[in-house]
């Protein structure tokens, strides 16, 4: 199921950004690229979540997640790393909690 995939992608993003300062994370090209890749996969999986499931989890910003995917995939050289850092270090952990709650309800 795409929800479980998203949970695994969130775990990867958290692992890539966890314990890192912005400066260390942004200087580590492999870690940064891996984070961007997993964020794109989170958005890709979000596009495949059925509407009924989306309604069950209205607190999850589905459009924002897909929008992030689109920016990462189509404007990679112009992606603002400080924004990606905030997404990876703040928003993805919050998303993970919402996904766990949603999976428990389903």
Q: Which residue has the higher pLDDT, 37 or 74?
A: 37
Domain boundaries, the chain: 2-105
Please say if the pLDDT value at position 42 is more than 90: yes
Rounded to two decimals, the pTM is 0.89
Give the pair of three-digit tokens for residue 42. 């989170």
Report pLDDT for 76.
Answer: 65
Other CB atoms within 10 Å distance of the CB of residue 106: 10
Instruction: For residue 38, report the phi and psi dihedrals to the nearest 5 degrees.
Output: -70, -35
Indicate if the pLDDT at residue 79 is higher than 80. yes
20 vs 23: which has the higher pLDDT: 23
Cβ atoms of 50 and 21 closer than 8 Å: no
Q: How many residues does the structure list for the chain?
A: 106
Mean pLDDT of 51-65: 89
**Cα separation of 67 and 18, whole Å?**
23
Task: Please provide the DSSP assignment of 7-66 as one string.
Answer: HHHHHHHHHHHTT--HHHHHH-HHHHHHHHHHHHHHHHHHTTS-HHHHHHTTTS-HHHHH
Query: 85 falls in which pLDDT band (50, 70, 90)?
Result: very high
Average pLDDT over residues 77-104: 90
Report residue 1's pLDDT band, with 50, 70 and 90 as the boundaries.
Answer: low
What six digits make up the tokens of 38?
């997993």
Q: Chain-wide mean pLDDT for the chain?
A: 89
């Amino acid at each position: 199921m795409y929800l479980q995939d998203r949970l695994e992608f969130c775990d990867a993003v958290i692992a890539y950004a966890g314990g890192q300062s912005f400066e260390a994370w942004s200087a580590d090209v492999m870690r940064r690229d891996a984070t961007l890749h997993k964020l794109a996969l989170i958005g890709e999986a979000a596009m495949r979540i059925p509407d009924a499931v989306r309604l069950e989890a209205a607190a999850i910003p589905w459009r924002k997640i897909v929008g992030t995917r689109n920016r990462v995939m189509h404007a990679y050289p112009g992606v603002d790393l400080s924004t990606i850092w905030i997404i990876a270090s703040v928003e993805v952990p919050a998303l993970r909690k919402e996904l766990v709650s949603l999976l428990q309800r389903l």
